[in-house]
Structure 1
Amino acid sequence: MKTILVTGGTGFVGRTLIPLLVARGYAVRLAVRQPSEVFPDAVVVGEVSPDTDWRAALSGVDAVIHMAARVHVMTETETDPLSAFREVNRDGTLALARAARDAGISRLVFLSSVKAAAERSGDLPLAEDMLAHPETPYGQSKREAEEGLLSLSGISSVILRPPLVYGPGVKGNFRTLMQVIRKGIPLPLGSVHNRRSLVYVGNLAAAVLAAVEQPDIPSGIYHVCDGLALSTTELLGRVADAMGCKARIFRFSPWLLEQVARLARRHDLWEKVCGNLEVDDTLFRQRTGWKPPFSVEEGLALTTEWFEAFAEGRTE
């Protein structure tokens, strides 16, 4: 039985990935920041940083899945956010990769982000060989981690760049979207014809598994998505259908929406809602044979089913 070390395994993606790995017959070792009653066998490594001692966690391990990260937040408290992101996402990642290499481990799967490439895609989907233009401290730190991993010899680094991840337990903008639809709040988005890629958490977990199991995949960056880019208007309609209700959407000039967002100093929010962010994951599919096991309809149905239970207090 092969042993896989997983960092960030207690998070949103990890809650889906860990059962999948166990079902495939892997022994999973979790690395956590502090002792946990829920995961008593996990190895406590503290915060991910350049000084983290990984020796105990890496002993006897065959592969590493690194998902732990400092994530972007709505309200940043650090006076120097980029340095804080770099310490965890770049320097901490590279320290783990070097420790894994020195321990004789041949495969590292790193969960990066589309934000390492760009915040928008223009008229064409983002491909892995396009010049990266990260615009946030989070995206910059992830991009620098990618560059560091690809320059590191002696270990195969498979880097996955997912777009927006949704699924049971989702937080952030996607949960807010479901709350708005459930409350029947009118939205002026009927004239938005953008294209945005998403990935269901079960599909992303399956992609991580494929990255672990495909022996011939070369080190590199790979985009992963559901394969169907949707406009914000289409997404609202599909989510509402999955919830068994109707989205209250009316037409309003996207240009005027953008001007309002600029005046309110929330152009970033306008970009997230109305801009294009589409990725091309052809390369990963070709090199691994991976196909999303869940359709968009199935993913949204499972997500909204969880959300209804969450909204009614029947689950966390």
Structure 2
Amino acid sequence: MNYFLTGGTGFIGRFLVEKLLARGGTVHLLVREQSAGKLDALRERWGVDESRVKAVFGDLTRENLGIDAKTLKALTGKVDHFFHLAAVYDMDADEAAQQATNIDGTRAAVNAAGAMKAKHFHHVSSIAAAGLFKGTFREDMFEEAEKLDHPYLMTKHISEKVVREECKVPFRIYRPGMVVGHSETGEMDKIDGPYYFFKMIQKIRRTLPQWVPTIGVEGGRLNIVPVDFVVDAMDHIAHLEGEDGKCFHLVDSDPYKVGEILNIFCEAGHAPKMAMRIDSRMFGFVPPFIRQSLK
């Protein structure tokens, strides 16, 4: 089995590569030439050499991913599964960077998969493709997305649209929730999302003994999923028969509220837990400029 990945050296990618190698496959990774050293370190982590994980030099923002004609020809008809994971996952990234990577990069990946006559195309989207839709956004929904004003939400939605409308290769789409560290090892990639809570919990632990109850805000629900859950699901679904053209939500079916997540973190970090959690909607009567001054 031959695999091709964009974003294979990223957080989700390096765990997925490990799963694909366990199947006995040969993995081709799109990398920039200046990132060759990073790939060498990852080969050591995976316990393989260049015969199992092959570097394909290119650029996500160029036509056919910037893969030279000779390499593209050598890959033609040989790729069983093309995984497109490369994307900007930073809500604060500028709009131009998100446009170039999330939309143009997806189009380049779709075209490259077609040029190399890949058998399957797997696009890693996000629940962000739904925008700020209020209610239940099902796997068979797409056009119903609402409030896509933020560049991240907009580019994730449009990149999925590129796959749906332009991909000539049989495709599958995966929408993970907020991906966090490994559920068994705790390995993580960067400080973002729920990890921002850690500093606050650390301060509370230094100030109060663990047995002192505290009061916090309940908040809405955060759909958090560990990286190993996401790659296990992708690896399983990708190799099933008869699932082409479908979209899959890789999410927690019963997500925790912010207050519940904080208490889980507090317990793990030996900090005081919140005995009372106040629904944040109770503060709706407070004028915005006053709420801002309290931050």
Alignment TM-score > 0.5, same fold: yes
2:152 is equivalent to residue 138 of structure 1: yes
Aligned partner of residue 9 in structure 1, secondary structure: coil
Aligned partner of residue 166 in structure 2, secondary structure: coil
Q: CA deviation at 1:204?
A: 0.4
How do residues 1-316 of structure 1 correspond to structure 2 at under 5 angstroms? 2-33=1-32, 34-40=34-40, 41-50=54-63, 52-54=65-67, 56=71, 59=75, 60-74=78-92, 76=93, 78=94, 81=95, 83-119=96-132, 122=134, 124-130=135-141, 131-133=144-146, 134-152=148-166, 154-167=168-181, 168-170=187-189, 171-184=191-204, 190-192=216-218, 194-248=220-274, 251-252=277-278, 254-255=280-281, 257=283, 262-263=288-289
Q: CA deviation at 1:47?
A: 4.1
Moved over 4 A (4+): 185-189, 248-253, 256-261
Q: 1:160 to 1:263 in 2, by over 3 A?
A: farther
8 Å CA contact retained: 2:175, 2:247: yes
Distance 1:29 1:261 in 2: 55
Deviation per CA, 1:278-304: give whole Å up to 9, x if none: xxxxxxxxxxxxxxxxxxxxxxxxxxx
Larger strand proportion of the pair: 2
Distance 2:25 2:65 in 1: 25
Deviation per CA, 1:233-282: give whole Å up to 9, x if none: 1111122233344335654462365566943797xxx9xxxxxxxxxxxx
Name structure 1 gaps, 5 residues minimum.
Answer: 271-316
8 Å CA contact retained: 1:32, 1:44: yes
Q: 1:104 to 1:261 in 2, by over 3 A?
A: farther
Distance 2:67 2:114 in 1: 11
8 Å CA contact retained: 1:6, 1:64: yes
Amino acid at match of 2:37: E
Amino acid at match of 1:144: I
Q: CA deviation at 1:110?
A: 0.9
Q: Which has the larger radius of gyration?
A: 2
With the length of structure 2 as denominator, give the TM-score of the two structures: 0.76
Q: 1:259 to 1:14 in 2, by over 3 A?
A: farther
Q: CA deviation at 1:85?
A: 2.1
Name structure 2 gaps, 5 residues minimum.
Answer: 41-53, 182-186
Distance 2:221 2:90 in 1: 23
Aligned partner of residue 68 in structure 1, secondary structure: coil
Q: Which residue does 2:50 correspond to in 1?
A: none
Distance 2:224 2:83 in 1: 21
Q: CA deviation at 1:92?
A: 1.7
The number of residues matched between the two structures is: 259
Aligned partner of residue 36 in structure 1, secondary structure: helix
8 Å CA contact retained: 1:109, 1:160: yes
Distance 2:27 2:203 in 1: 41
Identity %: 25
Cα RMSD, aligned residues only: 3.0
Distance 2:105 2:130 in 1: 20
Q: CA deviation at 1:30?
A: 1.5
With the length of structure 1 as denominator, give the TM-score of the two structures: 0.71
Distance 2:274 2:219 in 1: 17
Deviation per CA, 1:86-132: give whole Å up to 9, x if none: 2221122122212212211121111111111123x53x332133411
